[in-house]
Structure 1
């Protein structure tokens, strides 16, 4: 089981202080727009590596006007163990992580917990830029391979330094060699994990009985093919220096990859599907990711589904809840009213969030029990 048994938010966004006790059931959060529902989901997303579901800076997460910093504390049940997890930031500094009273890296969070999310900002995933699709894929890849985040950071740091040389029109090959070795090693690891992730998603979709459409996924390069090996990538970077100098940036590598999706039953590219179909494909992929993780590690991830119920008809909504409960996932879901979760009944726990004078309050209760 992967679930939060307790969560405390201190000076986080609109929450001055909130203490929430939980069990492993799905969590239905309702309240008016602007009450602070999504802020709770963002807090949970920080129990995984990275900047959370809004990709905000630590300073942006602090409660105003005090701006003292923020702290989150949770009791995380993880595969037979219970961990005390704390993460915080003081006055905009980089966030700190502590697990079981010991300093830890963000990568360590990915080893004890898995968190996936679907938020309204992702609804345009298939029709906007490739960067968002890469980020979506890398979040899924991270759930299978926590070290994927480290490889991504190494690659991006080396690429930034190489791009600086390119913009400065540095032509001495010795300046590039070490950076290109780092990019080739980390880049090949990134590409390998991405492809393994797509294979696991395909298998999970093929084996599923689901009300949501299957998506066929494929990695595509903006130019040519992704080099197959680490040596091939290093050679491709070296050979591309002349073009890269003209462009002022690196034109070869996994940062040029795009995720192409097709609505399998119709053979229609995801970008050409209706908005409802695009949303259904995203839900399908999140569920497939959860099923694949349950198969691999013995438990589904924690799911964060912001305003997902509002975009589904009653039948699809009921089907989503049934699949979540069948998975045994602690899914945190938001909606403006409790009626959006009526099909869940006593299978879920309920939180009502209200706001007054800029301060959010959380009232816990159990519907249908």
Structure 2
């Protein structure tokens, strides 16, 4: 079993300073609402690429004292650090806010070495999470669902995060060129060629992940629904019919032919940013968006745990699960199935809740911690 064995927070959310040591077993955090349980999960999520489980801006997570709230220009340099017990050994891992010449950036370190990109964290740690805000995933727009899918893909393809970052950069550059009336065809062609190469690679990685879930039959939570996943869009249709190179060519031609329309709309008409991720409740043959709220939550749990199971079998890096208030609305049988799966996976899951009694079936198999006013205490006795 692998996981975090030390977590240190400095000026992060409601924690001026916090130091926690634990072992790789699952961790249960209980306490009243507002005590800081979710903030601990968010801090851990910053040890992976991206903006964390709340998608917060870097300056939004900094700790502000009672009087500092009034100072709009006041900004503490927050940090999150820990020790990662992994298959490759023990690593010190950390991330922090840095400000130079008025510009904010995020620093990341592994073993004391500064990494060139936060995306390189995916070589060491994979963080999956479920929060109450995600319960409406299948009711919201495609952007949220694509982001959710990409987070799952990161667990198996550490280069995926970099591809998405580069694609979005090239798309913004093309958009600016269109907006300001650029006429240099060579400049457009260069950007569109890069968009096409990255876009096809993004779609291929997403499709490969979905196919892998289907083939590996990783759905093990018997009492939870199994999900049939699909990715729909023009890019996916092309990849089903043509080779990757032919799809790139079609994408380039589409971008070229839609320049005038894209100038007016301010966006690109084609690309992986237009694809949609869908799930179907397999046993009922019912699309998730038409399922009940409880069924949608159960589908989400099933998808994330299937991903975690595949990741544990792959055995590269450390997989952590952050489960915020996940059991509050589950019946007893589903809670027991969830606990059993966490223990079978031998993955360090960090779970939060307000009612310690709901976690009693775990007994001594997990670490129980209580949070009060940004202070953490052992609750095992």
What is the TM-score when the length of structure 2 is the normalising length?
A: 0.90
Q: Is the 8 A contact 2:142 2:277 kept in 1?
A: yes
Going from structure 1 to structure 2, the CA distance change for 1:209 and 1:337 (only over 3 Å counts) comes to: closer
Question: What CA distance in whole angstroms lies between the structure 2 residues aligned with 1:108 and 1:206?
Answer: 27
Going from structure 1 to structure 2, the CA distance change for 1:364 and 1:206 (only over 3 Å counts) comes to: closer
Going from structure 1 to structure 2, the CA distance change for 1:201 and 1:224 (only over 3 Å counts) comes to: closer
Question: What CA distance in whole angstroms lies between the structure 2 residues aligned with 1:242 and 1:267?
Answer: 41
The residue aligned with 1:99 is 110
Question: What CA distance in whole angstroms lies between the structure 1 residues aligned with 2:55 and 2:378?
Answer: 28
Question: What CA distance in whole angstroms lies between the structure 2 residues aligned with 1:249 and 1:70?
Answer: 35
The residue aligned with 2:40 is 40
Matching of residue 306 in structure 1 with residue 324 in structure 2: yes
The residue aligned with 2:71 is none
1:207-222 to structure 2, matched below 5 A, reads 208=220, 210-221=222-233
The residue aligned with 1:174 is 186
Going from structure 1 to structure 2, the CA distance change for 1:209 and 1:31 (only over 3 Å counts) comes to: closer
Q: Equivalent residue of 2:105, what SS?
A: coil
C-alpha RMSD of matched pairs (Å)? 1.9
The residue aligned with 1:124 is 136
The residue aligned with 2:72 is none
Q: Is the 8 A contact 1:20 1:364 kept in 2?
A: no
Question: What CA distance in whole angstroms lies between the structure 1 residues aligned with 2:280 and 2:236?
Answer: 21
Q: Equivalent residue of 1:308, what SS?
A: coil
The residue aligned with 2:378 is 364
1:149-188 to structure 2, matched below 5 A, reads 149-188=161-200
Question: What CA distance in whole angstroms lies between the structure 1 residues aligned with 2:43 and 2:90?
Answer: 19
- Count of residue correspondences: 363
Q: Equivalent residue of 2:263, what SS?
A: helix
Q: Is the 8 A contact 2:119 2:158 kept in 1?
A: yes
Going from structure 1 to structure 2, the CA distance change for 1:265 and 1:337 (only over 3 Å counts) comes to: same
The residue aligned with 2:87 is 79
Displacement of 1:233? 2.0
Matching of residue 31 in structure 1 with residue 31 in structure 2: yes
Question: What CA distance in whole angstroms lies between the structure 2 residues aligned with 1:143 and 1:18?
Answer: 28
Q: For residues 25-74 of structure 1, what are the alpha-carbon distances to aligned partners after superposition, in whole Å with 9 as ceiling and x for unaligned? A: 11100000000000000011111111111111111111003532211110
Deviates more, 1:283-292 or 1:296-305: 296-305
Going from structure 1 to structure 2, the CA distance change for 1:222 and 1:342 (only over 3 Å counts) comes to: farther
Question: What CA distance in whole angstroms lies between the structure 2 residues aligned with 1:223 and 1:85?
Answer: 37
Deviates more, 1:252-261 or 1:289-298: 289-298
Going from structure 1 to structure 2, the CA distance change for 1:93 and 1:224 (only over 3 Å counts) comes to: closer
Matching of residue 7 in structure 1 with residue 25 in structure 2: no
- The runs of at least 4 aligned residues of structure 1 exceeding 6 Å deviation read none
What is the TM-score when the length of structure 1 is the normalising length?
A: 0.93
Going from structure 1 to structure 2, the CA distance change for 1:151 and 1:11 (only over 3 Å counts) comes to: same
Q: For residues 335-358 of structure 1, what are the alpha-carbon distances to aligned partners after superposition, in whole Å with 9 as ceiling and x for unaligned? A: 002112111111110111111xxx
Question: What CA distance in whole angstroms lies between the structure 1 residues aligned with 2:13 and 2:356?
Answer: 23
Aligned counterpart in structure 2 of residue 70 of structure 1, from 75, 78, 90: 78
Q: For residues 5-28 of structure 1, what are the alpha-carbon distances to aligned partners after superposition, in whole Å with 9 as ceiling and x for unaligned? A: 111111110011111111111110
Q: Equivalent residue of 1:114, what SS?
A: strand
Q: Equivalent residue of 2:138, what SS?
A: coil
Q: Is the 8 A contact 1:167 1:249 kept in 2?
A: no
Unpaired stretches in structure 1, ≥5 consecutive residues: none
Aligned counterpart in structure 2 of residue 291 of structure 1, from 309, 313, 338: 309
Unpaired stretches in structure 2, ≥5 consecutive residues: 69-74
Q: For residues 259-287 of structure 1, what are the alpha-carbon distances to aligned partners after superposition, in whole Å with 9 as ceiling and x for unaligned? A: 01110000011000000000000000010
Displacement of 1:252? 0.5
Displacement of 1:75? 0.3
Question: What CA distance in whole angstroms lies between the structure 2 residues aligned with 1:9 and 1:366?
Answer: 23
Q: Equivalent residue of 2:200, what SS?
A: helix
Going from structure 1 to structure 2, the CA distance change for 1:113 and 1:27 (only over 3 Å counts) comes to: same
Aligned counterpart in structure 1 of residue 342 of structure 2, from 308, 324, 332: 324
